Amino acid sequence: MATIGMPLAADFEDSEFVVPRERLAAAGHTVVVLGVNAGEKVTGKRGKETARIDKAINDAEPDDYDALVIPGGYSPDHLRTNSAMVSFVRRFGESGRLIAAVCHGPQLLIEADLVKGRRMTSWPSVRKDLENAGAEWVDAEVCVDDNFITSRKPDDLEAFSKAIVGKLAEMEAA
């Protein structure tokens, strides 16, 4: 089974963290919450969910993960100002392994210079940022472009999670 890194900071969109994490765990995968400080407790922007950072980004290596899943909310905007997080995401992206991002999650991928030439979706307010960074933006529940999976919003989480679990199964079968 796969080990999935989930970059997270305060003000994440509650459901965009919880639903994919639960679906991945139910499929037998290990989810590791990556953040600035190990052991730190972060709260979702709606105040309904909290998460504990399992591993500090300074102690994480991209090779230890089979996939990254980036929840939205304000978390990606907070993380895009952390040079260690951006470097980690960039190095992971260069590996060609699976990256999934929902809602505002692609903001972190923009900062890591990973979106040029990609077909992606996001929350509508991130559209222009993606286009300016060289991505083709589409309005779709889920967009799969090779090893990138993106989705727009909480209403899309079941399809988003299903696409990630399916892609991981394909990778394991290969």
Give the span between the Cα atoms of 143 and 109, in whole angstroms.
15
Query: What DSSP line would sit under 113-130, residue for residue?
Result: T--TT-EE---GGGHHHH
- In three-state secondary structure terms, 5 is strand
Encoding tokens for residue 76? 């990606």
Residue 143 is a catalytic residue: no
The residue annotated as part of the active site, out of 8, 60, 103, 126, is 103
Q: Is 81 left (phi over 0), alpha (psi -120 to 50) or beta?
A: alpha
Q: Specify whether the CB–CB gap between 6 and 52 falls below 8 A.
A: no
C-alpha 21 chain-centroid distance: 11
Active site residues: 103
